[in-house]
Structure 1
Amino acid sequence: MTIMDLAPGANLAVLRKEHGLTQRQLARLANVSESQLSKIEVGDRTLTPAVAAVLGEAMGLTMDQVLGRAPMDKREGLHLTALRSAIRDYDLPDRRSVPEGAVQTALVEAERCRSKVDVSALTVMLPRLLRDATVYAHAENTPTAWMALADVYSSVYWLAARHRWMDMAELAVARQRWAVEQQPNPLGAAVASRDRAGTYLNFGDIERGLTLVDRAIGEAQSTLSGDERDIAVGILNLRGMTLAGRLQDKKEAKREAERHIQSARDACQWMNREVRVHGLTVGPQNTFTHELATRVDLGNPRAALGLTDDLDRALSGMPPTRVAPTYINTARAQLDTGDKDAALASLTRAWEVAPQMARIHPMGREVLRVVSSLHKRSNPQLLKLSKMSRIAL
């Protein structure tokens, strides 16, 4: 059983013991060093997604099970039940009418919540919005109406993936693709493929995820043109570089990551600002944030930190959904270079920008665990973050 209020590395220790394995036995099964595993469990080293995937496989678990589900209170559980019911009724629209424009207005609000990482508000509104969008799509039967429904399912996927509710995430992307296919919509199909590839990322099934991304890029290049083609290709390459950075073969990982990084840069070279489409952001800044995270995953923290000497300026104008994870990844890189004070400062910045994101982000929780361990002695900032995250120092 996954312990929800434990950071990933601490959760790993619980799971290992539940499986009756010593550190030496698990290290051998996963082909990682016993020293590395020991440091992860005691909090001297972060448990990265790539390592979580191989350790999970050795225990017959998925990566998301090792990382652990995000904390959830009872009220969120009630809304989650209502959301599951709405997903189940995907082809059974309610017998009522939805006022013209109501779905689009609610979608704007959902995107605002997602952009600001107001997870609580999004959780509350999604069950009703999904039912309204289902009624609207079946009644109107237009590309716009079906894409609106697909966008709602994209937000459901985003919410589920953030919490590691992977059964819901997989169902959401299946429904998203189904909605897109009701009427021809190549750009919508690219967005759906991007989200579906995310489920492979969450499960640690990296190679299949990359196969899906490359196939979707080929489809986008053959069915789209102009700005829409560049937007679709850019979005897909962002997912591709993230996947590539987590390949086990680091030589292949670097090669594949560089390919997707360059392709993403090429796709957005005409954009002088970020483009927002179907709840996603594509452009030079978002390419930068993904490249920084990918270089950390590749084990090159100095290259990640060298991408900019002014992170605040580099992220200016970006939504909290991108700013907070970038500061978390910066903290990871700073830990890897031995700068625990800078890591704490970056982690604090992530919590200031998007506290709800930082609380449920697995690496945000893991970096906090390691930072607190390395500092040895608690300080006011660590105590504050501990209380907010529900992670004991």
Structure 2
Amino acid sequence: MSATDEPESTTELAPGENLAVLRKERGLTQVQLARRANVSLSLLSKIEVGDRTLTPAVAAAVGKPMGLTMAEVLGKAAVAKGKKRSLTHLRAALRDYDLPGLESVPVGQLSTDMEQAHKHRKQMNVSQLLGVLPKLLRDATTHAHTTNTAEAWTDLSEVYSTVYWVAARHRWMDMAELAVTRQRWAVEQHPTPIGVAVAARDRAGTYLNFGDVERGLTLIDRAIIDAQQALSGTDRDIAVCILNLRGMTLAGRLKDKREAKREAERHIRSAVATSDTMGNRDRDVLGLTVGPQNVFTHRLATYVDLGKPRDALSLTDDLSAALDGLPPTRVAPTHINVARAQLDVGDRDGALKSLSVAWDVAPQMARIHPMGREVFRVVSSLHRRSNPELTRLSKLSGIGL
């Protein structure tokens, strides 16, 4: 890939629009796709014209008969302007996982650079993060090979986790899969139970993005058992909570909604129980946020995925307090999920307000977040008439009115 290349098949279309393009490219009628995907023709039609949102579960269902993953249906996001060269360098660093540099890396410098990357990630400065990741990955690789300590290999696995996070946010699933494979490899050089749990969580995330939620849940349940056997006390609660957060998201997207509800509630109960031991505020663990507040955000999102928007909205009586202190990486998606729930109950004005908050909190995330773009597409379609806020978000998102 040259310095001017982007990931293949990127799109600036919102997911529902992208679905219509993909269907037509394959010569399928709406009737044919609806029948093969076992979804309602009326629903498919409304999704394509912008009257209903394309949810992740439906995206996975319609993707299968077209030979596409959920991520491909939602649409791969293009690389940030001016960062194509950084993406090329990052891919090269991923290939060179066993080729450390010739010069040692000062520990203090590596720690500073990791903290900078962590800050960019929490603040959702995606383009800035992509700019520093290639060098950080090479330096962490060199340091791990040179010192060969558990701490150094854990640091490297954390960097790979961040690479996975960037790739998954853009739906660059080839890079995401490679990153989690490298992450697991790094962890196995000097295993730590927490590092193993985070690697399992990220690997399950690739199954989530491919729409293969059943296998993802199998991975999570296996990892929970391993964590319970390998850890004790607070460390065990942290690992189990991290895994349950992924578990409830996967469960919420099961096709059988009765099973989805049962499995989601099982993971929610476990996540609540383990997070209750961590105090009132969340903590950072290998680049992840874990604690009662993040359990709240995942629970709300899971209710939306389960088709229970009123249950999700019942959690939002004091949303500001619930999200206080959380990073933009958690605040913005939560407001997007609130917007989804509001749209599902017919509150178009509320959905627009929630989207506005998400864009203000983390504009770079909102631009690449598939549901943020999709909800805005439907909200703008249903409003019929433009207004200043619709116009503002249209310009920021690149989605025409």
TM superposition score normalised by structure 2: 0.97
Question: Quick check: 271-280 or 341-350, which moved more?
Answer: 271-280
Offset, 1:77: 1.5
Residue 361, structure 1, aligned to residue 369, structure 2 = yes
1:233 to 231, 240, 248: 240
Q: Give a deviation string over 1:355-384, Cα, whole Å, max 9, x none.
A: 000000000000010000000011111111
2:188 matched residue in structure 1? 181
Aligned-residue CA RMSD in angstroms?
0.9
Distance in 2 of aligned mates of 1:275 and 1:129: 23
1:300 to 308, 311, 320: 308
1:161 matched residue in structure 2? 168
1:278 matched residue in structure 2? 286
1:151 to 148, 158, 163: 158
Q: Secondary structure at the match of 1:207?
A: helix
Distance in 2 of aligned mates of 1:295 and 1:264: 15
Offset, 1:74: 5.0
Assess if the C-alpha contact under 8 Å between 1:331 and 1:346 holds in 2.
yes
1:8 matched residue in structure 2? 15
2:5 matched residue in structure 1? none
Residue 193, structure 1, aligned to residue 211, structure 2 = no
1:59 matched residue in structure 2? 66
Q: Give a deviation string over 1:72-94, Cα, whole Å, max 9, x none.
A: 24522211100000010000011
2:398 to 387, 390, 393: 390
2:4 matched residue in structure 1? none
Distance in 1 of aligned mates of 2:21 and 2:126: 28
**Amino acid in the other structure paired with 1:103:** L
Assess if the C-alpha contact under 8 Å between 2:228 and 2:240 holds in 1.
yes
1:340 to 339, 348, 356: 348
Q: Give a deviation string over 1:5-51, Cα, whole Å, max 9, x none.
A: 10000000000000101111110011111100000000000000000
Q: Secondary structure at the match of 2:284?
A: strand
Residue 50, structure 1, aligned to residue 50, structure 2 = no
Change (3 A) 1:192 1:3: closer
Assess if the C-alpha contact under 8 Å between 1:2 and 1:11 holds in 2.
no
1:374 matched residue in structure 2? 382
Distance in 1 of aligned mates of 2:331 and 2:286: 19
Identity of aligned residues (%): 69
Q: Secondary structure at the match of 1:269?
A: helix
Q: Give a deviation string over 1:125-173, Cα, whole Å, max 9, x none.
A: 0000000001100000000000010010000000000000100000000
Distance in 2 of aligned mates of 1:246 and 1:100: 42
1:68 matched residue in structure 2? 75
1:209 to 207, 216, 222: 216
Offset, 1:104: 1.4
Assess if the C-alpha contact under 8 Å between 1:2 and 1:66 holds in 2.
no
Q: Give a deviation string over 1:186-240, Cα, whole Å, max 9, x none.
A: 1100000000100000100000000000000000000011111000000000000
Distance in 1 of aligned mates of 2:191 and 2:10: 44
**Amino acid in the other structure paired with 2:319:** L
TM superposition score normalised by structure 1: 0.99
Q: Secondary structure at the match of 2:277?
A: coil
Q: Give a deviation string over 1:58-109, Cα, whole Å, max 9, x none.
A: 1111101100011324522211100000010000011111112211111111
Assess if the C-alpha contact under 8 Å between 2:10 and 2:78 holds in 1.
no
Distance in 2 of aligned mates of 1:88 and 1:153: 12
Assess if the C-alpha contact under 8 Å between 2:237 and 2:277 holds in 1.
no
Distance in 2 of aligned mates of 1:128 and 1:257: 39
Q: Secondary structure at the match of 1:268?
A: helix
How many residue pairs were aligned?
Answer: 393
1:85 matched residue in structure 2? 92
Q: Secondary structure at the match of 1:11?
A: helix
Distance in 2 of aligned mates of 1:56 and 1:376: 29
1:253 to 225, 250, 260: 260
Offset, 1:2: 4.3
Q: Secondary structure at the match of 1:46?
A: coil
2:3 matched residue in structure 1? none
Q: Give a deviation string over 1:326-370, Cα, whole Å, max 9, x none.
A: 000000000000000000000000000000000000000000100
Q: Secondary structure at the match of 1:70?
A: coil
Change (3 A) 1:2 1:41: farther
Assess if the C-alpha contact under 8 Å between 2:10 and 2:77 holds in 1.
no
2:145 matched residue in structure 1? 138
Distance in 1 of aligned mates of 2:99 and 2:292: 41
Assess if the C-alpha contact under 8 Å between 1:8 and 1:68 holds in 2.
yes
Question: Quick check: 308-317 or 9-18, which moved more?
Answer: 308-317
Distance in 1 of aligned mates of 2:235 and 2:111: 21
Distance in 1 of aligned mates of 2:80 and 2:285: 32
Distance in 1 of aligned mates of 2:159 and 2:314: 37
Distance in 2 of aligned mates of 1:152 and 1:61: 29
1:107 matched residue in structure 2? 114
**Amino acid in the other structure paired with 2:174:** D
2:40 to 15, 18, 33: 33
Offset, 1:111: 0.7
**Amino acid in the other structure paired with 1:313:** A
